[in-house]
């Protein structure tokens, strides 16, 4: 498979591959709408997560307000069904520089990595939406799966550990996304396969950026926390799940709705 070198650190980081039960469900044509709808929402949530970290830890108040305005058209579309694809394409670019906080030494590093991540996630949002429109798949605001919510719920509640834990969670979410794009590319039509393969490089970089930030910001070794979240992520992915979404676990047909 192409991109083997790129995927090796991803597969080494994750504690299990996507289970066959999920793949068997994902290759069914009737599952494509939910995969694309959930993928669309996941791109926005990835941008929101990066933006929260920027606003909470890295940028000054004025830049924080500008970041909110950058994301607003995408949130209006996703949650209030306002706007259209052309509006979103015009809103993709950040028009002003983001200024870091002077009281946090890693501000500039976080800004450089997270602004690029947000820009790419919003571009991917537009790409997924365009694919959906071309295929006559309507956008629906669907409920989130247990995956990311459970990871975040297990973060510590004190600083700086909550920040470090969220960065580690981000690394796992991006790594699993990358792994799933790679396996999905083998199950779908050529147009979608090419699209999923095109996402691998950015998703792999996002994983590496989150992990690098966690290592730099943490005053202590992060390997124990990486292992904790790795085991949790493995459980979420490998155990039976009654919900089928992009990041869901081993789909349990007999207990599903």
Angle between helices 190-217 and 4-13 (to 10 degrees): 50
pLDDT, one tens digit per residue, over 226-251 is 999 999 999 999 999 989 999 999 98
Asked if residue 160 has a cis previous peptide bond (ω within 30° of 0), the answer is: yes
The predicted structure's pLDDT at residue 32: 96
User: How many independent structural domains does the chain possess?
Assistant: 1
How many angstroms separate the first and last alpha carbons of the chain?
35
Name the pLDDT band for 2 (thresholds 50, 70, 90). low
Q: Choose between 2 and 73: higher pLDDT.
A: 73
Name the pLDDT band for 255 (thresholds 50, 70, 90). very low
Name the pLDDT band for 254 (thresholds 50, 70, 90). low
Domain span at residue 129? 4-255
Q: What is the DSSP string of 117-168?
A: HHHHHHHHHHHHHHHHHHTT-----PPP-HHHHHHHHTS-SSTTHHHHHHHH
CATH number of the domain where residue 8 is located: 1.20.1260.10
pTM given for the model: 0.94
């Amino acid at each position: 498979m192409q991109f083997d070198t790129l995927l090796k650190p991803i597969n080494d980081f994750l504690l299990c591959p996507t289970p066959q039960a999920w793949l068997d469900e994902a290759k069914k044509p009737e599952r494509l709408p939910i995969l694309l709808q959930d993928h669309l929402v996941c791109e926005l949530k990835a941008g929101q997560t990066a933006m929260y970290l920027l606003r909470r830890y890295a940028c000054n108040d004025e830049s924080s307000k500008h970041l909110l305005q950058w994301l607003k058209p995408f949130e209006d579309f996703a949650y209030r069904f306002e706007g259209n694809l052309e509006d979103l394409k015009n809103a993709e670019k950040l028009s002003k520089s983001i200024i870091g906080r002077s009281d946090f030494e890693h501000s500039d590093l976080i800004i450089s990595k997270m602004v690029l991540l947000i820009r790419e996630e919003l571009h991917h949002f537009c790409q997924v939406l365009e694919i959906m429109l071309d295929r006559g798949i309507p956008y629906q605001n669907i409920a989130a799966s247990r995956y990311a919510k459970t990871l975040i719920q297990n973060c510590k509640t004190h600083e700086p550990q909550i920040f470090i834990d969220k960065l580690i969670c981000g690394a796992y979410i991006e790594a699993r996304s990358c792994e799933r794009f790679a396996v999905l590319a083998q199950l779908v039509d050529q147009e979608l396969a090419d699209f999923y393969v095109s996402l691998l490089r950015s998703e792999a970089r996002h994983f590496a950026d989150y992990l690098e930030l966690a290592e730099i910001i943490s005053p202590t070794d992060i390997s124990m926390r990486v292992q904790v979240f790795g085991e949790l992520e493995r459980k979420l992915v490998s155990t039976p799940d009654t919900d089928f979404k992009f990041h869901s676990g081993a789909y349990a047909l007999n207990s599903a709705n």
